[in-house]
Amino acid sequence: MPPPPPAQPSLPTYRLIYYRGRGRAEAIRYMLVLSGKGFDDCRISISQWKTIKEREGLGEDSKLPVLEIDNKELIIGAANIGRHLANEFGFYGKSDKERAEIDEILEEIEAMYPNLTPVVRAALGKNDRQKRASWEAYKESTLTAALTSFSKRLGQNRFFVGGNLTWADLAVAEMLTRFEQCYEGSCLRDWGT
């Protein structure tokens, strides 16, 4: 009788933990979906996050999202998770130069978040007048310069880096889509999107 075939390595299982909403986890979701990897999309409340931090022994300053791999490995934070998955699934360029370009774009996105805080707070507080005023200030202080930079980087190309879809493309697309859906549907009208 011939020996049994070798056991197939088991595929990793993924559990993405984030608040109820898109936020910083959405580009991660894009990578998981585009790579064809099934994952448990666990959306939690702030109180549930506090319980998880205590149970897992995570520091008070630990921030969502969290990616759990195979019920044992935890990767904390959007940048760390994104980098891990982009490497694993081929969304992180093909050379050190491409990875550096992707990192530059991601740093530009990250730099946009602090000024967005007043807009998010007004939106969560359902204060439409304050949201509009904060959004207008955000566009003037941050968004216009970022869109100018992104447009210049992209030029006539289809993708930001290396002629292929990367984490940078997914992160920019997610952020701009979120801005249109959550803050102003016409905010990209003048940018040839």
Give me the residue spans of the domains in the chain: 14-89, 96-191
pLDDT over 70 at 5, yes or no: no
Span 7-19, mean pLDDT?
81
Q: Over the stretch 67-119, which tens digit does the pLDDT of each residue have?
A: 999 988 999 999 999 999 999 999 999 999 999 999 999 999 999 999 999 99
Q: Report pLDDT for 186.
A: 83
User: Distance between CA 123 and CA 131 in Å, rounded?
Assistant: 6
Note the CATH number of domain 96-191: 1.20.1050
14-89 and 96-191 have identical folds? no
Average pLDDT, the chain: 90
Give every CB contact of residue 66 below 8 A, 6+ residues apart in sequence: 16, 17, 18, 52, 74, 75, 76, 81
Confidence at 123, pLDDT banded by 50, 70, 90: confident
Note the CATH number of domain 14-89: 3.40.30.10
pTM confidence score: 0.86
